[in-house]
Amino acid sequence: MARSASAMRGQILESALRLFAVHGFRGTSLQDIASDAGCSKASLLYHFASKETILTELLTPARDAVATLLDRVAGLEGGRLVEETVVGYVDLALRWRREIQLLFDHIAEMSCHAELDVMEVADGLLDALAGRSQQASARVAAWMVLGAVFITSAADHEVAPDEVLRAEMIRSALRTLDHTPS
């Protein structure tokens, strides 16, 4: 039985995400993705014009979720800003684990994709985690949280159940940022 167009697109995206995570973006060919998805390369190209198009479609929902978080915290200041940003970022990192891993693993390549606005979104997240402070201590701590949350959420091993992992990630991030929850 033939798959629907949306099912085929979904399978191609799932295969691409899995292969990009294992072999990297550059190390994965369109033929690799097509074979893994169980379709021909011609069929893959019917759905996606290029590997870059697949990458953009994979990362856009996660990028949009971070942009939504930044919009949500835009009017906040001080401790409330930091706390809401940490909680939101941890939740997004756990929800979009593989996509965020792909993004961070290939940040230099991703920053070249103008339609993803990777650096603008990362700068906004960094600024919010730092409580909009320009002090070196706040910025360094924010960079540490930005990376540590990603690394912890993308870890291959099972550290703890997600609810425990989430609580510990939030607590540790707030401590790193020298912030206690309100």
pLDDT at 39: 96
Within 48-135, where are the H helices? 51-73, 78-95, 97-105, 107-110, 118-129
d(Cα 126, Cα 141) in Å, to the nearest integer? 9
In this structure, of 64-68, 79-83, 93-97, 151-155, the range with the lowest mean pLDDT score is 151-155
pLDDT value at residue 151: 85
Range 21-43 average pLDDT:
94
Q: Are 44 and 30 in contact (CB under 8 A)?
A: yes
pLDDT level of residue 121 (50, 70, 90 thresholds): confident
Under the banding of pLDDT at 50, 70 and 90, the label for residue 56 is confident
Percent of the chain with pLDDT over 70: 87
On whether the CB atoms of residues 84 and 130 are closer than 8 A, the answer is no
